[in-house]
Amino acid sequence: MATTCPVRFFHWRAGICRSRFSRAVVIELAREQNVPVREMPLTKHDVYIADECFLTGSAAEIVPVTKVDSRKIGAGVPGPITLQLLDRFHDVTRQ
């Protein structure tokens, strides 16, 4: 059995953040940077075809996801939106 802290899952496809769960701070940061955000239910297929993905959580902060079920997500490396939000998140939380 595996356990983890509660996390939220975000993914991008065609320039839109699609999230079943939200973290207010990350959504606010995305919108500040003109990244469209839409909360919606996700399927495995949505995740498999995402351009990029990341998880958020109080302890985890923002964690890029590059592979799910042995399938590469996007280019298989943290994407530009994820890295941009991670940098901005660190700026805000370190103030």
Which one, of 50, 41, 40, lies nearest residue 11 by Cα?
Answer: 50
Q: What is the pLDDT of residues 17-34, one digit of tens each?
A: 554 434 677 888 889 989
Among residues 26, 63, 27, 20, the alpha carbon closest in space to that of 43 is found at 20
Cα gap 14→46, rounded to integer Å: 11
Q: Is the pLDDT reported for residue 65 higher than 60?
A: yes
- Name the DSSP class of 33: T
Q: Average the pLDDT over 49-57 and give the result.
A: 86
Mean pLDDT across the stretch 76-89?
92
- Residue pair 54/63 in contact (Cβ under 8 Å)? The answer is yes
Q: Tell me which DSSP letter residue 89 carries.
A: H
Give pLDDT, residue 27.
Answer: 84
